[in-house]
């Protein structure tokens, strides 16, 4: 039962943060395309790990620093969405590079396939 509650909470936070990034991207992050790929929360819902994907961004580490710099503002926006909570969770942001990894692996497999076809 508790797991189901946490899952619902994670999906809601992911949805709300995605909307916040979409609405604030131009003003806060220079129009960068940021998606929330995964959210993991502590059992007491007090801490949330947020995994973000940043597409077509040259310096992703710099953008991640900017997201962390705006952490308080992001939490305030999230509080507007999660009105039913007494305490808004602490947010920690992480770069999700699984998409980059998948694309890199796809290119690798393509090059192996080409080499096999040449033989």
**Structural domain boundaries, residue 103:** 2-118
Question: Which is nearest to 92 in space by CA: 119, 62, 56, 52?
Answer: 52
pLDDT tens by residue, 21-70 = 999 998 999 888 899 999 999 999 899 999 998 877 788 889 999 999 99
Residue 1: per-residue pLDDT:
46
- Per the rule left: phi > 0, alpha: psi between -120 and 50, beta: everything else, 106 is alpha
- Using DSSP bridges, classify how beta strands 47-55 and 90-95 pair: parallel, antiparallel or unpaired: parallel
Alpha helix locations (H) across the chain?
2-29, 60-69, 71-81, 98-118
Number of structural domains the chain divides into: 1
Distance between CA atoms of residues 108 and 15, nearest Å = 33
pTM score, two decimals? 0.79
Which pairing describes strands 33-41 and 47-55: parallel, antiparallel, or unpaired? antiparallel
Give residue 90's region: left, alpha or beta (phi > 0; psi -120 to 50).
beta
Extract the tokens encoding 37.
Answer: 């790929």
pLDDT in tens, 4-15: 889 999 999 999
- Which CATH number fits the domain that encloses residue 22? 3.30.300.20
């Amino acid at each position: 039962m508790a797991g189901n509650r946490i899952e619902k909470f994670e999906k809601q936070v992911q949805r709300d943060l995605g909307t916040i990034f979409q609405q604030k991207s131009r003003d806060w992050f220079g129009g960068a395309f940021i998606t929330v790929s995964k959210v993991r929360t502590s059992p007491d819902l007090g801490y949330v790990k947020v995994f973000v994907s940043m597409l077509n961004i040259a310096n992703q580490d710099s953008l991640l620093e900017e997201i962390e710099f705006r952490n308080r503002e992001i939490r305030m926006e999230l509080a507007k969405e999660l009105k039913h909570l007494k305490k808004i969770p602490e947010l920690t942001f992480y770069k999700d590079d699984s998409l980059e990894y998948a694309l890199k692996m796809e290119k690798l497999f393509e090059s192996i396939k080409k080499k096999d076809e040449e033989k």
